[in-house]
Amino acid sequence: MEFINLCDQHSLVSHFMRQLRDRNIQQDRMRFRANVHRLGQIMAYEISKRLDYNIIATETPLATAQTPIISSQLVVATILRAGLALHDGFLSYFDTAENAFVSAYRQYRDGSDEFDVHIEYLASPSIEGKTLIITDPMLATGRSMELAYRALITRGMPAHIHVASVIATDQAVDWVKQTLPADRTTIWTCDLDHVLNAHSYIVPGLGDAGDLLYGEKL
């Protein structure tokens, strides 16, 4: 299974990541959403290099041009609610893709740091034989990603899966490698952090992505 950290090379990804992490800049919720959206666009561009293409003849005013266009059937899936801005960034580039949505949330056990992940909602087309892109900004433990994947494959078995996150941890990457099919999964992240605290929050991370994107919840 291939793992790609876009921050391994210097690019605009690092510029946007710094702004997302900065506790002062991130108070501008519109800017925070815009930066997550931009990272979705960048990852979509990078993933586009791995897709299948057909050559199509296009008539110009002067002649015929032979143009490669994406032939892979794409389904862009997101884990609600934090994944919505990242999803929208992908969709602004893959504008003909089908879409899927999964809800996943942590339910803590009796005030402890232990929790279970629950899936409550799934809306998805058939993903049989298609290229599935699952977007979630924070890949902390990998458990939500695993359960989202298991929910999605009730709609068919994809030809390839791209897991896309803004920040991942070593633990989550290892978990995804253990639980998703190694021969047809690629993991993408904009940066990799190495610590999970007692609450399974990413350190240094950036805080609660869902709250920073859309406001605090009760």
The DSSP annotation for 48-95 comes to HTTS-EEEEEEE-SSSEEEEEEE-SPEEEEEEETTTHHHHHHHHHHST
The gap from C-alpha 82 to its chain's centroid, in whole angstroms, comes to 10
* pLDDT over 80 (residue 8): yes
Q: Tell whether the torsion through CA atoms of 72, 81, 178 and 168 is positive or negative.
A: positive
Task: Please tell me what DSSP assigns to residue 41.
Answer: H
% of the chain with per-residue pLDDT over 70? 94
Q: Tell whether the torsion through CA atoms of 217, 175, 132 and 1 is positive or negative.
A: positive
% of the chain with per-residue pLDDT over 90? 84
* pLDDT over 70 (residue 116): no
Domains annotated on the chain, with CATH: 2-53+70-214 (3.40.50.2020)
Distance CA 117, CA 104 (A): 6
Query: What are the tens digits of pLDDT across the range 137-183?
Result: 999 999 889 999 999 999 999 999 999 999 999 999 999 999 999 99
Query: What are the tens digits of pLDDT across the range 20-60?
Result: 999 999 999 999 999 999 999 999 999 999 999 999 999 99
User: Cα–Cα distances in Å, from 54 out to 8, 158, 159, 191?
Assistant: 31, 20, 17, 32
Indicate the average pLDDT of the chain. Answer: 93
Average pLDDT over residues 111-133: 84
Q: How confident is the model at residue 108 (pLDDT cuts 50, 70, 90)?
A: low
Distance CA 98, CA 77 (A): 8
pTM: 0.91
